[in-house]
Structure 1
Amino acid sequence: MFVNRHGKLSLPVARLKSDAAHNILPGPSVHKNGKAKPTINNQSQVISLVPPAQRTRWHCGICSKSLSSKRSYDEHMNIHNDARPFACDHCDYAAASQMTLRRHKLRSHTARRDWGYKCPYCDEAYMEPASYQQHVQSRHFGRSATFGCPYTQCTFQSKCFRHFREHLAKHNSYES
């Protein structure tokens, strides 16, 4: 992608008739007035020039999820297509995304004591900071944050924000 003269994202260079026709040449180039044109070397530089609200997002036609990159979109589509192209090199497990494979390797093939978030008060260890913080607050400081459903007819409560968020999503899907 690149930003055209109107400030909008345009098609990838490979899909244009020619690079020269659109003044997209590698290395520095010069304007008619003799001043150097800014050189853009990679996609992240292009994307950083575009305000977040105008950035192209990839939308899943199956579940309407919006993703920020083609790679994320492709990995997301693996879930819908039951494709698991990312294989574990320690066992027969295969995942739909690299992140899921990384999490599997950490949980299944790494000793718990080597996980990144170790409790200073006991032998517990966690992979994610939210789980670690919840453990320390509830087990060692007696604080138990409870997330209650805001719908008046529902009595759902959870100490886990992720479970609470998943519960709210169910309410939202019923209303649609």
Structure 2
Amino acid sequence: MRRHTGEKPHSCKVCEYSCCQKSDLVSHMKYHSGEKPHSCDECGYSCSAKSTLVMHMRTHTGEKPHSCKACGYSCARKSMLVKHVRTHTGEKPYSCQVCEYSCSQKSNLVSHIKTHSGEMPHSCDVCGYSCSAKSALVKHVRTHTGEKPYSCQVCGYSCSQKSNLVSHMKNHSGEKPYCCDLCGYSCSAKSTFVIQMRTHTGEKPHSCKACGYSCARKSDLVIHMRTHTKEKPYSCQVCEYSCSQKSNLVSHMRIHSRQKPHSCDVCGYSCSAKSALLKHRRTHTGEKPHSCDVCGYSFSQKSTLVKHVRNHSEEKPHSCDVCEYSCSAKSALVKHMRTHTGEKPFSCQVCEYSCSQKSNLVSHIKTHTRPLCTGVW
């Protein structure tokens, strides 16, 4: 009857714990006394309650007596099944008193409350990172250790977080439970779906404190920050090239391997980077998606627009170390520096002519190919 009335007549003299059964109080008191009379014959683990030992033994036997009627999921603890069933019912019995946040597990609510109090009791010994949840710290530490305890049984893929493995497995099953009502896009991971929806809403929750840049993906912000810190964590093992993005390194490595997996359907042009192919295709389509807000002039490449805008602002960020020359484009500075160094990297294959600019070489080549005058008028 006490389960219905909520009556808890048995109280602990040490702390505020109370319960409805005397046997529960007896087990609880062992936490204070440090008494652990129940021990495992397999590994030596000991505990204060017999029920705890029973559940521990299942880690050795693999026994999972509690199963879900909806999907067949099974587990060793009844409490774990209760939590799992909530993934089907959508029940979220734990609510925050400060905001509208609610969740299915009490531990999640405890971690959430700390976001209001600002409490971050868990910190990293390596870099000082701190967080409100111990589980978050465990995941973070793996960025230092490189540990990837979750592995795919199909292809050998491994990762540091279980949620990433769950998403990865959907690539094999082809399952894409998240679908956009606006454009029909579907994906296997909820996090990917959330980011996709931002392409419709225009939401950019991640912003740079240095310059105000904002973006939809946290990973994009991490990459952007490297433009301020000049960090280039990805290095080529063949030459001294280093870069801020892994994708750039992948493209760079193809220069050494001479691999050009991306080809144009129109003219057969091939290149090592997909982004280069997208730019090339615009030479066929005439597409110029990047336009100037000042004069309306449009370009096929964003980098060209950036250079053009400097004509309006008169910004000249590139300057010569030898003289006072400055310019808006880095390529112009490279050409200028050759007036000091005398470098002439462009050579004629027919004669010994060489020059500092490619355009000059193109003009020179025409002197060899130009038809001779016959003298007939």
TM-score, length basis structure 1: 0.53
Task: Please state if 1:109 is matched with 2:228.
Answer: yes
| Change beyond 3 A, Cα 1:78–1:129 | closer
Runs of 5+ consecutive residues of structure 1 not aligned to the other structure: 16-23, 27-43, 168-176
Distance 1:121 1:65, change over 3 A: same
Pairwise CA distance, 1:133: 4.1
Distance 2:105 2:202 in 1: 41
Question: Structure 1 residue 63: deviation in Å?
Answer: 3.3
* Residue equivalent to 2:115: none
> Pick from 3, 7, 14: which aligns with 2:92?
14
1:20: which partner in 2?
none
Q: Which moved more, 1:54-63 or 1:90-99?
A: 54-63
Q: Which amino acid counterpart does residue 147 of structure 1 have in structure 2?
A: P
User: Which of 139, 142, 145 is equivalent to 2:259?
Assistant: 145
Instruction: Quote how far apart the aligned CAs of 1:87 are.
Output: 1.4
Report the 3-state secondary structure (helix = DSSP H, G, I; strand = E; otherwise coil) of the residue aligned with 2:191.
helix
Alpha-carbon distance change, 166 to 69 in structure 1, aligned in 2, over 3 angstroms: farther
**Paired amino acid for 1:110:** T
Report the CA distance shift for 1:11/1:58 in structure 2 as closer, same or farther (over 3 A).
farther
Aligned to 1:119: 236
AA paired with 1:13? E
Work out whether residues 234 and 245 of structure 2, in 8 Å CA contact, stay in contact via their aligned partners in 1: yes
Q: Would the aligned equivalents of 1:148 and 1:155 in 2 still touch at CA under 8 Å? A: no
Give the corresponding residue for 1:39: none
For the residues of structure 2 that align with 1:69 and 1:83, how far apart are their CA atoms? 19
Q: Which amino acid aligns with 2:271?
A: S
1:155 alignment partner AA: G
C-alpha distance in 2 between matches for 1:158 and 1:165: 10
| 2:248 aligns with one of 131, 147, 155 | 131
Q: Distance in 1 between matches of 2:251 and 2:194?
A: 33
CA change 1:80–1:13 in 2 (3 A) is same
State how 1:89-104 maps to structure 2 within 5 Å: 89-104=209-224
Identify the structure with bigger relative contact order (alpha carbons < 8 Å, sequence gap 6+).
1
Larger radius of gyration: 2
Tell me if the contact between 1:147 and 1:159 (Cα under 8 Å) persists in the aligned partners: yes
Correspondence list, 1:134-173, <5 A: 134-138=251-255, 141=256, 143-147=257-261, 149=263, 155-161=268-274
* 1:119 and 1:132 in contact (8 A); partners too: yes
Distance 1:148 1:98 in 2: 28
Tell whether the 8 Å contact from 1:158 to 1:164 is kept in structure 2 after alignment: yes
Percent identity of equivalent pairs = 17
The 1:130–1:84 alpha-carbon spacing in structure 2 relative to 1, beyond 3 Å, is closer
For residues 4-26 of structure 1, what are the alpha-carbon distances to aligned partners after superposition, in whole Å with 9 as ceiling and x for unaligned?
Answer: 513177242329xxxxxxxx998
Report what 1:67 is aligned to. Answer: 187
Contact 1:118/1:126 (8 A) holds in 2: yes
